[in-house]
Amino acid sequence: MRRNLMLALALAAVLSLGVAAIASAVSTTLRAGNLIVTFGATTSPKALSKTKYTPVTAKIFGTIKTSDGTHPSAFREGTFDIDKDVKVNVKGYPTCKGGQLEARDTKAAMKVCGDTVLGNGIAHVEIAFPEQKPLLVTSPLTVFNGGEKGGKITLYFHIFLTVPVPAAIVTTVTIQRKGTGVHSIAKVPVAAGGSGSAIDFSFKLGKTYSYKGKKIGYFEAKCPDGLFNASAKNVIFKNEAHIPGVAAQTTLNGSLAVPCTAKG
Q: Has residue 175 got a pLDDT over 70?
A: yes
Distance CA 90, CA 25 (A): 26
**Count of alpha carbons within 13 Å of 31, Cβ hemisphere only?**
6
pLDDT, tens digit (0-9, with 9 covering 90-100), for 1-52: 444 333 333 333 333 333 333 334 789 999 999 999 999 999 999 899 999 9
Distance CA 236, CA 250 (A): 6
Q: Has residue 100 got a pLDDT over 50?
A: yes
Q: Residue 145 has what pLDDT?
A: 98
- pLDDT bucket at 89, cuts 50 / 70 / 90: very high
pLDDT, tens digit (0-9, with 9 covering 90-100), for 115-127: 999 999 999 999 9
Q: Residue 181 has what pLDDT?
A: 83
Instruction: Kindly report the average pLDDT of the chain as a whole number.
Output: 89
Q: Please state the rounded mean pLDDT for residues 134-161.
A: 96
Those residues with Cβ within 8 angstroms of residue 3's Cβ, 6 or more apart along the chain or in another chain: 65, 69
Q: Residue 240 has what pLDDT?
A: 95
What letter would DSSP give residue 242?
-
Sign of CA dihedral 213, 203, 225, 180: positive
Query: Where are the strands (E) in the chain, listed by range?
Result: 26-32, 35-44, 47-49, 54-66, 74-82, 86-88, 117-127, 135-149, 152-161, 167-178, 181-187, 196-205, 208-211, 214-217, 219-221, 227-238, 249-259, 261-263
Q: Has residue 218 got a pLDDT over 50?
A: yes
Q: Please state the rounded mean pLDDT for residues 132-139.
A: 93
Q: Residue 221's closest CA among 258, 255, 254?
A: 258
In contact, 194 and 16? CB cutoff 8 Å: no
Q: Residue 55 has what pLDDT?
A: 95
